[in-house]
Amino acid sequence: MDEIALPLTGIPPEDEALRTEVRAFVEPALAAMPADVRARAWMGYDPAFSRALAERGWVGISLPREYGGGGRGVFARFVLIEELLSRGAPVLAHWVADRQSGPMIARFGSEAQKRFYLPRICRAEIGFCIGLSEPDAGSDLASVRTRAVREPGGWRLNGRKIWTTNAHRVHYMIALVRTSGTPADRHAG
């Protein structure tokens, strides 16, 4: 097997400078939060805190500027996430939208979807969850049975999802569904 050589690199100074800015905001904002709550940071749900981050341009920091994002790169995103989590910031209200759904929509969404969802994500107005696991399938994602069938004007979904973190609080779900094939060939790739 060929080796892959990845050059060592440092965080660019402009992205490293973000660290001080994030600390200056987060430390006083969370000073009264009990340590046991801060220890569960990524599960902390606080929409007002997420909106305060959005006002600073930190929700959607790496999403394209033309849709309200910060247009920054992976190092800025890394510094921001590292500082928020290491200080116990409650990030769940925007976490999936900012980290997974937003980038997925930016890459694969239609222009109308980008214009509708991305600015709202960047303002922390909407939240997302991810629907993967199902009854009788658990974490075996190849066994997913939920189906999506194209119809005039969209898709009809039929199935169930379980263990979906934050589903009861958010506005949208990015779901793993089947659009082709049969249940018999679900492990065929």
Q: Which domain holds residue 31?
A: 13-126
Per-residue pLDDT tens over the stretch 39-64: 877 788 999 999 999 999 999 999 99
Q: Is residue 54 located within the same domain as residue 113?
A: yes
Q: Is residue 100 located within the same domain as residue 147?
A: no
Q: Is residue 98 located within the same domain as residue 32?
A: yes
Q: Is residue 174 located within the same domain as residue 114?
A: no
Q: Is residue 108 located within the same domain as residue 132?
A: no
Per-residue pLDDT tens over the stretch 123-145: 999 999 999 999 988 778 888 88
In a domain, 7, yes or no: no
First to last CA, the chain: 24
- The pTM of the whole model exceeds 0.85: yes
User: What is the distance between the alpha carbons of residues 121 and 101, in angstroms, rounded to a whole number?
Assistant: 9
CATH number at residue 108: 1.10.540.10
Domain total for the chain?
A: 2
User: What is the distance between the alpha carbons of residues 56 and 53, in angstroms, rounded to a whole number?
Assistant: 5
Looking at 74, 97, 126, the residue that finishes a domain is 126
pLDDT over threshold 60, residue 189:
no
Q: With 0-12 CB in 10 A as exposed, 13-18 as middle and 19+ as buried, what is 6?
A: exposed
In a domain, 4, yes or no: no
